[in-house]
Structure 1
Amino acid sequence: MTQSPAPLPPPELRRHLREAASLTPDQVAERVGVARETVRAWESGRTTPRGRRREAYAKLLASLTEADMVTNTQQAAVPGPLGALGAPEASGAPGGRPAGTVLTPAQAFDALYAFCAPALVRQAYLLSGRRELARESVERAFQLAWQRWPEVAVDRDPAGWVRATAYEYALSPWHRFRPRYRHPEPPPSDAADRALLDVLLTLPAPYRRTLLLYDGVGLDLPETAAETEASTPAAANRLLHAREAVAARLPELASPSALHRRLAEVASAERLRATKPTAVRAGSEQRARFWTRAAIAFTVAIIGATALTVRTAPTRYEPAVPPGETVQGVPPRSAPGTLSDAELNLRAKLRSGIRHGPQRLLPLAE
């Protein structure tokens, strides 16, 4: 009798279970005995494990499912080098509540914030090189997520939605015109961290983002291309050029694993704290009220201007002066010039006729 294959959760749940346990793809690949790219393919649903690998993977996911149903203090997974950059802190994993618990929107938002915000602040710092801008980027991204929570809550990857928004804000070129960001911030104290951050900031923004997503966060190439809104070949070219630029300045980081480890170390060296989720929700609601009132005031101003225009507009139509027309029988006016013989005779006749008319009044000298 043929034994049925071990059951597996859906592909979209496999990655969630791994991230909730603060495991990296390398750690899962080491436990199952496969390559890192194979684990990424299983999580995206492109391939399906078979045979003993399927049994080992199913057993691992079953253990992660059980760990996801208890509090975070009961989780047995140990974060690897990526935990400081791409994986959330243990205190913020959304698996801290028992499975099946119905969360309010505020509770679900707070869980997502605690799950993603600490790592996102460190990632935004590597993108921008500014600590305050990194915190502001994450805060604005979550404020926008709270305003659009019905849309974000049903998204396939809410963490990716917030990450993409935070990256866009951190890489915006308009920050250079803000007074608070005109002057550079103090660099990292360690010389090696300072050198790596300088190299990152010299890369073009798309290259920097691609390098961070692939070698820092740990996304695979199709996911990196999708998040950067580029094709897979374009994302691969950006990644290769970014690695070459880093290796040219820092030869000891030519290996992807060494670069991955150093990115995590640089991000962990800075004491970057995210704002409390309650403050983020309050700020989001305050901004929403402000823009709502501004829109109402603008609409009222337009209505008032329209009403004033209607009130002061003329009540009757005054036709415009029509253009001139040629009247038959009237000779056209001639331009000034030399008098004709007939006109000269007429002038002479008029001048000679004045003598027989009334006397002219002439001033007399006294």
Structure 2
Amino acid sequence: MTRSPATPLPPPKARRRLRESAALTQAQLASRVGVTRETVRAWESGRTTPRGRKREAYAKLLNTLSEEATARRAKPAPAPAPEPAPVPVVVAAGAGSAGASEEAADSLVLPAKPLDERRSGPGSGAGPDSPSGPGSGPGSGPETEQESGPEPRPEPAPEAESAPAPASAPTALTPAQAFDALYEFGAPALVRQTFLLTGRRELARESVERAFQVAWEHWPEVARDRDPVGWVRAAAYEYALSPWQRFRLRHRHPEPPPADPGDRTLLNTLLRLPPQHRRTLLLYDGLGLGLPETAAETEASTPAAANRLLHAREAVADRLPELADPRVLHRRLAELASTERLRAARPPAVRMGSERRARFLTRAAIAFTVALIGTTALTLRTAPTHYEPPVSPGETVRGVPPKVAPGALSDEQLELRQKLRDQLQDGPERLTPRLE
């Protein structure tokens, strides 16, 4: 029995472009295919691939959208409207380049949506303690407002039309300036979050700096991401929770715990949780992410993330009963993170470190390639060109008298030799061959 080939699909980015060209939100496209909005988001991000009948329906719908887009392009279109500025650059410029002070950086302990705002919304009927309730469904994610289409711009007032133009128009940020703004905005909070995740100050700073170095290496991808801070946060958490960290010499020496007994007990309770449970609890109850977003960042399914969250809450409530309420736990996590004065490096130092690391890896790859080519050439030069049979090992033969060294003949030997010579010449005729 043979299986029919799967229906071909365009790349994930092309799927998203086709949906946006048709002015459809993810929820609208999901209702036409018969799936949830989170499934469509996973298809467009490339995390999952549709199968079976859903794949056929999705491919058919994308084909229809492609034909409609082709037909629209064939018609004469009016003058295009001015395109809006790229979202990541504007967000980064407003976040960190507006002269943010050190006090503002310290206030970004856990920059996330409040618990009440995250779990309350249209159609939410579950309480704050139910992670898998309707409040965490498609209508309550952080991207709902972005996917519902751009907001209509208000009409300018008559006085605004006659107002003089500003003296200096804002200029576009360079990649280095946008990266520095993103770093100044997100690094202080990420260091505190990573400290709650690992309980180590130096490891938290190193993880955040390494994550931003990787972000600078992939800056075009990070700059176009809908949540650049989330991209860096995922990289920092992965580096901090790597199992290879336990083999480092620094890991063998414990760091001093917090001075407050309550903070020390809470931190020890968090560190006793499994890494994935600890990460899920920090993302959901600490940062205020929705359950689908938490599951996507931890690379788990939504039911698995809900189970991890419930087990983590039970473990914390068993040791600290006063933290059974998620709101109280959120406040205590923010207080514990704010008590630690953790400072991150400056943005230029992080960028230079990333560039030095990239140069070192490039030179190492070039040196390895040259060494491999030289070794291959030397092997080809010195390798034999024909087959040489191996020499068999010697064997000991017994019973053979030793070879006598040559020397002078004795009298008897001389007499015998002379006798043989004489008989050969003067002997009977039968001893001398004759030619007939």
- Compute the TM-score of the two structures, normalised by the length of structure 1: 0.65
1:293 equivalent to 2:357? Answer no
1:123 paired with 2:193, answer yes
Q: Does 1:317 align with 2:386?
A: yes
**CA gap 1:40/1:127 in 2 versus in 1, 3 angstroms:** farther
Code of the residue aligned with 2:225 in structure 1: it is D
Please say if residues 128 and 170 of structure 1, whose CA atoms lie closer than 8 Å, have aligned partners that are also in contact.
yes
1:307 to 365, 373, 377: 377
Partner AA of 1:171 in structure 2: L
Q: Deviations over 1:126-145 (max 9, x none)?
A: 01000000000000000011
Select the residue among 11, 18, 24 that pairs with 2:113: 24
* C-alpha contact 2:118 2:141 (8 A) present in aligned 1: no
Q: CA deviation at 1:25?
A: 3.6
Gaps spanning 5+ residues in structure 1: where? Answer: 1-9, 50-57, 63-97, 322-357, 360-366
**The one of 311, 324, 335 aligned to 1:254:** 324
Offset at residue 156 of structure 1 (A): 2.4
Select the residue among 118, 139, 142 that pairs with 1:43. 142
Matches within 5 A, 1:105-254: 105-254=175-324
Q: Residue 143 of structure 1 contacts residue 280 of structure 1 at CA under 8 Å; is this kept in 2?
A: yes
- Equivalent pair of 2:283/2:289 in contact (CA under 8 Å): yes
Aligned residues: 269
- Please list the CA deviations of residues 270-293 of structure 1 after superposition, one character each: whole Å capped at 9, or x if unmatched: 000111111000100011111111
What is the CA-CA distance between 1:222 and the residue it aligns to? 0.2
Q: Conserved in 1, the CA contact under 8 Å of 2:215 and 2:222? A: yes
State whether residues 42 and 48 of structure 1, in contact with CA within 8 Å, keep that contact through their aligned partners in structure 2: no
- Checking the alignment, whether the CA contact within 8 Å between 1:40 and 1:220 is kept in structure 2 is no
Q: Sequence identity of aligned pairs in percent?
A: 66
Counterparts of 2:244 and 2:186, CA distance in 1: 25
Does residue 102 of structure 1 match 2:172? Answer: yes
1:224, 1:25 → 2: CA distance?
A: 15
1:219 alignment partner, SS class: coil
Question: Quick one: distance in 1 between partners of 2:121 and 2:344?
Answer: 35
Preserved contact between residue 115 and residue 327 of structure 2 (Cα < 8 Å) = no
Is the alpha carbon distance of 1:300 and 1:145 closer, same or farther for their aligned partners in structure 2, counting shifts above 3 Å? same
Contact conserved, 1:210 with 1:224, CA < 8 A, in 2? yes
The answer to whether structure 1 residue 270 and structure 2 residue 340 are counterparts is yes
Q: CA deviation at 1:181?
A: 2.1
Contact 1:138 1:166 in 2 (8 A): yes
**Relative to structure 1, is the Cα distance of residues 174 and 158 closer, same or farther in structure 2, using a 3 angstrom cutoff?**
same
CA–CA distance in structure 1, aligned partners of residues 229 and 306 of structure 2? 23
Distance 1:225 1:271 in 2: 30
Alignment root-mean-square deviation, CA: 3.8
TM-score normalised to structure 2 length: 0.55
**Structure 1 residue 294 displacement after superposition:** 1.0
Deviations 1:1-32 (A, max 9, x none): xxxxxxxxx9998xx79x96967345767999
* Partners of 2:388 and 2:248 in 1: CA distance: 54
Contact 1:121–1:138, Cα closer than 8 Å, also in 2: yes
Note closer, same or farther for the CA distance 1:226–1:100 as it changes in structure 2 (3 Å cut). farther
Equivalent residues in 2 for 1:333-352, closer than 5 Å: none
